[in-house]
Amino acid sequence: MREVLLVIHFLGLAMGLGTSFANMFLGIAGSKMEATEARKFRLHTLALSKMGQIGLVLLVVSGIFLMTPYWSILPSSPLLIAKLALVVVLVSLVTVISLAGAKAKTGDADAQFKKIQPIGKMTLMVALLIVILAVAFFQ
């Protein structure tokens, strides 16, 4: 069962982290377009967010089960505590991006994209830090 959960966990990681990288490169592409074309392009790229959300759900659900042998040592594992705290931060950032993306579809897209862009960069950094801490702890 652990192997199945690990596969699900790594699929979620690929989906979530892949979304961050894809958004970064699509943001670079969009920055080279005219304003109206870029706005339309960015609105279409919001569809990728769903993949990231699904990946994050897979990560969190499988991670809860994979953590079973580690809950008892959690208080004495600062790397694991930091990793789990960053997962909470990541979920919060993705929630903020999702809400801003929904507002962008119905309202002032430019203002919402100004909010999303820096938060998107933070999600990439936080996700990479989570991977680094996981590797350091589970080595």
Q: Is 51 exposed, middle or buried (0-12, 13-18, 19+ CB in 10 A)?
A: middle
DSSP string, 56-89: HHHHHHHHHHHTGGGGGGGGG-HHHHHHHHHHHH
Residue spans of the domains in the chain: they are: 2-138
Q: What are all long-range contacts of 101-106, with beta carbons under 8 Å and residues at least 24 apart?
A: 101/46, 101/49, 104/42, 104/43, 104/46, 105/43, 105/46
pTM to 2 decimal places: 0.89
In this predicted structure, what is the pLDDT of residue 56?
95
Mean pLDDT per 10-residue section of the chain, whose length is 139 residues: 95 93 90 91 90 95 95 95 96 93 88 90 94 94
- Specify the pLDDT at position 75: 94
Predicted local confidence at residue 93, as pLDDT: 94
pLDDT computed for residue 124 by the predictor: 93
